[in-house]
């Protein structure tokens, strides 16, 4: 089956925005989620993420947001997205996050945290749950 018909025949599971400044990781995540039937939007910095979210918030089911980004932190991006849509589904990815910051972000509405390096299978389960419960 060629790639075009493969994309048409695969079920659409939802639309996710991946915000990751490491190009190799961004490509890997896009490939992973696309193969699992998601439409993937991508941003490599905080300002781009906010612009993409504002323009597509009606279609985006969930966001994978790296904590450390150029131009704006993941935390700043989250709060700007939340101002656009209080029910935004965000999964925060970080190599390390202080327990106090994690607690505050959980109270503010972050749905899940994943520690880098993370397992793709874990991300798959998290996003499947988030999108299914929309």
Give domain limits for the chain. Answer: 12-132
pLDDT band at residue 43 using 50, 70 and 90 as cut-offs: very high
How much of the chain exceeds pLDDT 90, in percent?
Answer: 69
Q: Is 92 exposed, middle or buried (0-12, 13-18, 19+ CB in 10 A)?
A: buried
pLDDT at residue number 36: 93
Q: What is the pLDDT of residue 9?
A: 41
Q: Could you give the C-alpha distances from 62 to 3, 5, 22, 52, 91, in angstroms and in order? A: 25, 26, 20, 13, 8
Whether domain 12-132 has CATH 1.10.3080.10? no
Q: Is the pLDDT of residue 58 over 80?
A: yes
pLDDT at 19 over 50: yes
Q: For the residues 102-107, what does the mean pLDDT come to?
A: 89
Digit-coded pLDDT (tens) for 105-120: 989 999 899 988 889 9
């Amino acid at each position: 089956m060629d790639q075009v018909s493969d994309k048409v025949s695969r079920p659409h599971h939802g639309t996710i925005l991946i915000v990751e400044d490491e190009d190799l990781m961004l490509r890997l995540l896009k490939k992973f989620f696309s193969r699992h039937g998601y439409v993937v939007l991508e941003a490599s910095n905080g300002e781009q993420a906010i612009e993409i979210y504002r323009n597509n918030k009606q279609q985006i089911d969930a966001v994978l947001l790296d904590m450390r980004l150029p131009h704006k932190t993941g935390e700043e991006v989250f709060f700007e997205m939340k101002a656009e849509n209080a029910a935004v589904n965000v999964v925060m990815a970080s190599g390390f996050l202080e327990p106090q910051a994690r607690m505050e972000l959980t109270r503010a509405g972050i749905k899940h945290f994943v520690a880098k390096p993370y397992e793709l299978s874990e991300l798959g389960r998290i996003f499947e749950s988030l999108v299914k419960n929309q």
